[in-house]
Amino acid sequence: MLFAGIDVGAQSVKVAVLSDNKLVFSSTTVTDEEGGVAARQALDKALVALRLPLNSLTAVVSTGIGKDGVAFATGKRTEEICHSRGAYWLFPSARTVLDVGAGGYRAMRLDNRGKLIDFANNSKCAAGTGSFLDAVTRVLDTRLEEIGTMAVSAKKRASVSSYCAVFAESEIIGNIHRGVPKECILAGVCYSVAERLAEVLHRVKIAKDIVMTGGVAQNIGVVKALEEIVGLKAKVPHEPQIVGALGAALFAEEMSK
């Protein structure tokens, strides 16, 4: 039997398909389509890749900010519970999960059976989110995938506000005008993002192992800065952005039992 999870986020749709408790397909599709339409298109692509019709899926669970718009889903779950479930499936040693996406971030604490026992979300400010890093790329005329590697190559770290995205952008522009090297500014950006993430982690009382999920987990600069701040290493899945969809697929599988 096949089970699918769909995570409809602020900028992308993630799909995960399970068969016999094995991940057989995963994808991330960046889109500006309405959530329900984007989810349908992403799942259709998955089925084409697997050479299967829609009725071959036993259950589909949706999650993410657009989960309610997925009319064909047979169930829905919150982002917190899906990221927790997916992270624990990948790393049974996980006790703290940090999900950092385009539109927000959240920390989750798990017990030794993987059950979600506490969680905390970010404030309304965009600082610390993937959309903030997107804005940084426009100001510094760089690519998103370059931020992390450039940041870790810096010899010094520029000062960048960790409390307000607007102030942070002003400080970035000020650093540019002062001739501060781009990699040093990016190191400051990554550290400021990590400071915001550390705050939400402390609200759930960090315990190792920490697992980072979401697209920002691919940014080595943010990961290294966070490890420096909290004093613990973070585990990052091969595809951190699909962990929520994976958790949703696991719930879809559970529904059939």
Residue 143: domain span? 92-236
Tell me how many domains the chain contains.
2
Under 8 Å between Cβ of 207 and 190: no
Q: Say yes or no: 5 and 46 in one domain.
A: yes
In terms of domains, do 229 and 254 share one? Answer: no
Residue 124 has pLDDT above 70, yes or no: no
Query: Both 126 and 208 in a single domain?
Result: yes
Q: What is the pLDDT, as a whole number, of residue 116?
A: 98
Share of the chain above pLDDT 70, in %: 97
| CATH number for the domain harbouring residue 150 | 3.30.420.40
Same domain, 12 and 81: yes
Band of residue 177 on the pLDDT scale cut at 50, 70, 90: very high
pLDDT at 102 (0 to 100):
83
pLDDT at 169: 83
CA separation for the pair 223, 207 (Å, rounded): 16
Q: Are residues 217 and 119 in the same domain?
A: yes
Distance CA 154, CA 164 (A): 23
If asked whether residues 218 and 113 sit together in one domain, one would say yes
Q: What is the pLDDT of residues 47-100, one digit of tens each?
A: 999 999 878 999 999 999 999 999 999 999 999 999 999 999 999 999 999 999
pTM, to two decimals: 0.94
What are the beta bridge partners of residue 68? none
Same domain, 228 and 111: yes
Helix axes 165-177, 182-202, angle to 10 degrees: 160
Q: What pLDDT sits at residue 8?
A: 96
Same domain as 230, residue 187: yes
pLDDT at 193 over 70: yes
Q: Is the same domain home to 167 and 250?
A: no
pLDDT grade for 162, boundaries at 50, 70 and 90: low
- Calculate mean pLDDT across residues 159-167: 76
Same domain, 59 and 113: no
Q: Does one domain contain both 112 and 207?
A: yes
Band (pLDDT 50/70/90 cuts) for residue 168 is confident
Residues 33 and 65 in one domain: yes
For residues 88 and 224, give the distance between their C-alpha atoms in angstroms, rounded to a whole number. Answer: 22
Q: What is the pLDDT of residue 32?
A: 85
- Residue 139's pLDDT is 92
- For residue 256, what pLDDT is reported? 84
Where residue 99 falls (left for φ over 0; alpha for ψ -120 to 50; beta otherwise) is: beta
C-alpha angle 156-161-163 in degrees, rounded to nearest 5? 145
